[in-house]
Amino acid sequence: MLTCACIERGQGLNHGIADAANLTQLLRSVKEGSKNHEAAVNEYMNELVPRAGEEVKMSVVNTDMLHDWEKLLDSPFLKAGGHATQTNKIALEEQRHKDAILKAEEDSKS
């Protein structure tokens, strides 16, 4: 299993279970003869790598934010709190997600 997420997000176990279930299903198809071993492993990796990569990026952003007081104070969670409307909360979260992905991509280039 290729699972990498910081503990603050709590995603490691979720993805580990999903990875094990996916791999088990694909290996069962090998045993039943509907797939060969190479095809099953390729299918597993083609699903896992992009998903895990995105999770790693978000984990890095989340860890940076949680360990940087200024970023935490600027986060939608503390800005919106319980006082923003649900629509505003969703818009803030979508923008935060977009900003986080852009930052992670910029950081990975440097």
Q: Are residues 86 and 45 in the same domain?
A: no
Structural domain includes residue 59: no
Q: Are residues 44 and 81 in the same domain?
A: no
Structural domain includes residue 56: no
Q: What is the C-alpha to C-alpha distance for residues 107 and 102, in angstroms, rounded to an integer? A: 9
| Closest-CA residue to 77 (of 85, 89, 69, 67) | 89
| Amino acid identity for residue 60 in this structure | V
Q: Are residues 75 and 34 in the same domain?
A: no
Q: Return the C-alpha torsion angle 105, 94, 17, 53, nearest 10.
A: -10
Please tell me the predicted confidence (pLDDT) of residue 86: 55
Q: Are residues 72 and 107 in the same domain?
A: yes
Mutual angle of helices 86-109 and 37-66, in 10-degree steps: 110
Structural domain includes residue 90: yes
Q: Return the C-alpha torsion angle 93, 64, 102, 87, nearest 10.
A: 0
| One pLDDT digit (tens) per residue for the chain, 110 residues | 444 455 555 667 788 888 999 999 999 999 999 999 999 999 999 998 888 888 778 777 777 777 777 777 777 666 766 455 555 666 677 778 888 888 888 888 87
Structural domain includes residue 57: no
Please give the residue range of the domain that contains residue 14: 1-49
Contact 27, 43 (CB under 8 A): no
Please tell me the predicted confidence (pLDDT) of residue 65: 73
Q: Are residues 11 and 39 in the same domain?
A: yes
Structural domain includes residue 73: yes
Q: Are residues 75 and 103 in the same domain?
A: yes
